[in-house]
Structure 1
Amino acid sequence: METRRLGRSGLFVPVLGLGTATFAGKNDFFKEWGDTDVQGARRMIDISLDAGANLFDSADVYSDGAAEEVLGEALKGRRDRAIVSTKGGLPFVSDPADAGSSRRWLTKAVEGSLRRLRTDHIDLYQLHAFDAFTPVEETLETLDSFVRQGKIRYIGVSNYAGWQLMRMIGTAENRGLVRPVANQAYYSLIGRDFEWELMPLGLDQEMGTLVWSPLGWGRLTGAVRRDAPLPETSRLHRTADMSPHVDQERLYDVVDVLLEVAEEAGKSVPQVAINWLTGRPTVAGVMIGARTERQLRDNLGAVGWSLTADQIGRLDEASASQAPYPASVYSIQDGFRRVSPPLFG
C-alpha cells in the first residue's frame, strides 16, 4: 500500500488506516458504531496488516477507554508492526468532569492511554478538541515533555478551527516546543468545509491530514438513495442528529454520481468515495472503519487504482458547495483571485 509523509515529519503512514471506534461498543453511543471484541479485532488487524494498512487510530473516549483496551490486547505480540495513534481531551461519559488539555488532565489522559494500549509509546497523540480554558503554552509544554520522555513520538490535533491550529503552530515555533504534524478532520464528498480554511492552512504549514468519517457518517455506502427508504439496519436512524449537517438533495445528487462512477469503474460506492479523498491536497491518510470483515475488505479496495479526470470532475461538481466568507469573494471575484489565486482545484 502507498505510504505518505505525515506533514513536516519523518513519519510515513499508509494512505488507509483502520479507525477503532467500532471496537468494544461499551456505551449507548458507541454501540451504534459496533461492538468488535478482541478476537474480532485481531482478525481486522490481520487483514489490515496483510494489506499494508498498519496505522490504527483510536481515542480514549471510544467506549470510555474500552476501544483502546481491545486494540492493545489485539496488537499483543506485534506492536512493532503497527503505527498506533490515539486522541485525548474529550470528556468520558463515565466521568464528564475531567476533560481538556490542562497539564493535570493531559498527563492523566496520556498515561491512561499508554496503559490501556499496553504500550510504552504512542506514535501519534492528537488533541481531540480545542480547550478554550487552558493556555496553549501549558498544553504544548506538557506534550513536549512526553515527547522528550519517549512516550509520544509525534503530536497532532483533531476538530480544530484554522485560527486555533495556527495559534498552536505559532506558539510551538516561538517557544521551541514540539510542533503538531497532523490534523485529523472530517472530510467527505458531502462534507467539504475542510477545504475553505484548513486545507490552505495545511498546504502553507505542511500539515498532514488524516480524514475521519470519509463516508459521511455512513451516508455514502450506497444504502442511502433518492426515492428509497433508509434501510432499517442503518445507524442513521439513531445517530443522524449527532452528525454534521447534510442537505438531503445535495446528498442525493452526490450519490447519483457515485452510483454512475462506481458502475463505470467496476468498484463499490464506498471505494469510489474513499478513492476521491486520497487524491485531495494535504491528505496523508484516510481512516476507514468497519463492523464486519466484508466491509473492511471492501474499504481496503479503495486504493491501488485511479479515477479518471472526467469522473473526478463529475464528483467535484456534484459535491460542490457555496464557499463561506471570505473564501466566497476569493472564489468568485476576479480582483481577489488576482492577488490570491486558489491553492487547489
Structure 2
Amino acid sequence: MRTVQLGRTGEQISQLALGCMIMGTVTPEDEAVTILNRYAEAGGNFLDTADCYCWWESQGSYGGESEELVGRWLARSGRREDVFLATKGSAVVRNLDLVWKDGRPEWDAAYRNFVGAGAKTLRDAIDGSLRRLGTDHVDLYYVHVDDRSTPLEETLEALAGIVQAGKVRYIGWSNVRTWRLERIRQLCAQHGWPAPVALQQQHSYLRRRAGLRHVSIVDDEQLDYLQTHDDLTLVAYSPILKGIYDDPEKRRNHGVMSAYDGPDAEARAAAVVEVAAEVGVTPNALVLAWLMQQSSPTVVPLIGPRTLQQYEAALPALDVKLTEEQVARLDAAGA
C-alpha cells in the first residue's frame, strides 16, 4: 500500500485510510477484526474513528462503541506502534431525549445538541477516547463538527494544551467552511498554537450540484485553498458515496445523491463507467484510484466498509495507474 506525507509533518500515512465508524455496531466484532487484520496485513496504517460513533445505531447510546472495538483490537494485536490513529471530538449529543422520535434519530435536532468544542468538553473528550482506545495518545485529533458558539481561541488553546500534555500529536478539523479554516490558521500562527495538518471533508468524484450550500462537501474555493496550502492534507470521507458508482439504480434512488443530482453528475458517472471498463475495475474502485492519484491537493480517501466483502472490493483501486489521458478525460467530464 502506498503512503503519502501528512501535510508537512514528515509522517507517512496510508493513502487509503480505514474508517471504523460502524465497527462494533453495524459491523459485528468478528468481521470488524478481520477487516482490521486484513488492512494491517496489506500495509495499511491509518485508522479513523470518533467518540460519537455510533450513537445513532442504538437508542440510548452516546457512542464510543467504535473506539472500544479498536482499542480491543489494538490490545490483542499489539499493533499500536504500527498504526497512525485518528479520532474526533465535539459531536457527541448532549441530550438523547431531544434527538430521538418514534425510534429514529432526528439529525437536525442532533446538530443543535452536540456538546461542541469548549475547552473542558475537549479535555474530557480526549481522556474518554484514550480510555476507550486503550492508549496514552492519539496521532491525530479532529474537531469533528466546527463549533461557532465557542470562541476559536478557547478551542485552539485547549487543543494546544492537549498536544503539550502528550495526549495528541497533531490536530485536524472537519465539516468546516474555508473562511473558518483560514481564521483558525491565523490564530494558530498568532499564538504559536499547533495548526491543523488534516482537513476531513466529504469529497468524491461527483461535484455538488449548483447552488447547494453544504459545509461538509468540498467546493471549488476549498479545493483552491488546499492547492495553495500543502501543509494540509485532505482526508475524503464518503469517497464512493455509499457505493452509487457501481449501481445506476442506486444512483437514481439513494438519498446521498440529493447533493449531486443533475447533468454534471450524469456526465461524470458515465465517464467513470467508461474508464473503469478500460482498466478492468469497478466504477467504485476507479473513483478511489482517481482520488489517490490526485496530487494538488493530496487526497487520502477514507473508506468505511460495512462488510469484509466491501473492504475487499476496494483493494483493486490500489493497483490502478491511470494514464494522463484517462485522468484528463475524467477531469474534463461534466456539464
State if a TM-score over 0.5 links the two structures.
Answer: yes
Matched, 1:272 2:296: no
| TM-score normalised by the chain length of structure 2 | 0.83
Amino acid at match of 2:33: R
What is residue 67 of structure 2 aligned with on the other side?
68
2:153 to 108, 133, 137: 137
Q: Is the 8 A contact 1:199 1:282 kept in 2?
A: yes
Amino acid at match of 1:252: E
The SS at the match of 1:85 is strand
Amino acid at match of 1:301: P
Q: Residues 109-165 of structure 1: CA distance to partner in whole angstroms, max 9, x if unpaired?
A: 111111111111111000112111111111111111111111001000011111111
Matched, 1:115 2:131: yes
Identical columns (%): 34
What is residue 143 of structure 2 aligned with on the other side?
127
The SS at the match of 1:60 is coil
Amino acid at match of 2:85: V
Matched, 1:37 2:28: yes
The SS at the match of 1:61 is coil
1:214 to 228, 239, 245: 239
Which deviates further from its counterpart, 121-130 or 306-315? 306-315
Q: Does the C-alpha gap of structure 1 residues 166 and 118 become closer, same or farther in structure 2, counting only changes over 3 Å? A: same
- Paired with 1:319 and 1:139, the residues of 2 have a C-alpha distance of 40
Q: Does the C-alpha gap of structure 1 residues 36 and 88 become closer, same or farther in structure 2, counting only changes over 3 Å? A: same
Q: Is the 8 A contact 2:6 2:12 kept in 1?
A: yes
Q: Is the 8 A contact 2:90 2:143 kept in 1?
A: yes
Q: Does the C-alpha gap of structure 1 residues 315 and 93 become closer, same or farther in structure 2, counting only changes over 3 Å? A: farther
Q: Does the C-alpha gap of structure 1 residues 111 and 319 become closer, same or farther in structure 2, counting only changes over 3 Å? A: farther
The SS at the match of 1:189 is coil
Amino acid at match of 2:90: G
The Cα shift of 1:194 comes to 2.3
Q: Is the 8 A contact 2:138 2:167 kept in 1?
A: yes
- Paired with 1:123 and 1:284, the residues of 2 have a C-alpha distance of 18
Amino acid at match of 1:211: A
Q: Does the C-alpha gap of structure 1 residues 230 and 174 become closer, same or farther in structure 2, counting only changes over 3 Å? A: closer
Q: Is the 8 A contact 2:172 2:197 kept in 1?
A: yes
The SS at the match of 1:39 is helix
Summarize the alignment of residues 101-112 of structure 1 with structure 2, pairs less than 5 Å apart: 101-112=117-128
Q: Residues 25-59 of structure 1: CA distance to partner in whole angstroms, max 9, x if unpaired?
A: 3xxxxxxxxx1122222111111011111111011
What is residue 78 of structure 1 aligned with on the other side?
79
- The Cα RMSD (Å) is 2.2
The Cα shift of 1:98 comes to 5.1
Q: Is the 8 A contact 1:4 1:284 kept in 2?
A: no
- Paired with 1:244 and 1:230, the residues of 2 have a C-alpha distance of 12
Q: Gaps (5+ residues) in structure 2?
A: 55-62, 97-109, 209-216
The SS at the match of 2:317 is coil
Amino acid at match of 1:18: L
What is residue 266 of structure 2 aligned with on the other side?
252
The Cα shift of 1:191 comes to 3.1
Amino acid at match of 1:59: A
The Cα shift of 1:260 comes to 1.4
What is residue 45 of structure 2 aligned with on the other side?
54
Which deviates further from its counterpart, 136-145 or 97-106? 97-106
| TM-score normalised by the chain length of structure 1 | 0.81
What is residue 58 of structure 2 aligned with on the other side?
none
Q: Residues 224-246 of structure 1: CA distance to partner in whole angstroms, max 9, x if unpaired?
A: x1xxx449xx9x65xx16x7612
The SS at the match of 1:258 is helix
- Paired with 2:89 and 2:334, the residues of 1 have a C-alpha distance of 32
2:218 to 194, 200, 215: 194
The Cα shift of 1:24 comes to 2.5
The Cα shift of 1:295 comes to 1.5
Q: Gaps (5+ residues) in structure 1?
A: 26-34, 321-345
Q: Residues 189-230 of structure 1: CA distance to partner in whole angstroms, max 9, x if unpaired?
A: 11366251222222333211111111124322x11x1xxx44
The Cα shift of 1:285 comes to 1.6
Q: Is the 8 A contact 1:73 1:117 kept in 2?
A: yes
Q: Is the 8 A contact 2:140 2:168 kept in 1?
A: yes
- Paired with 1:53 and 1:152, the residues of 2 have a C-alpha distance of 21
Which deviates further from its counterpart, 67-76 or 206-215? 67-76
What is residue 324 of structure 1 aligned with on the other side?
none
Matched, 1:171 2:187: yes
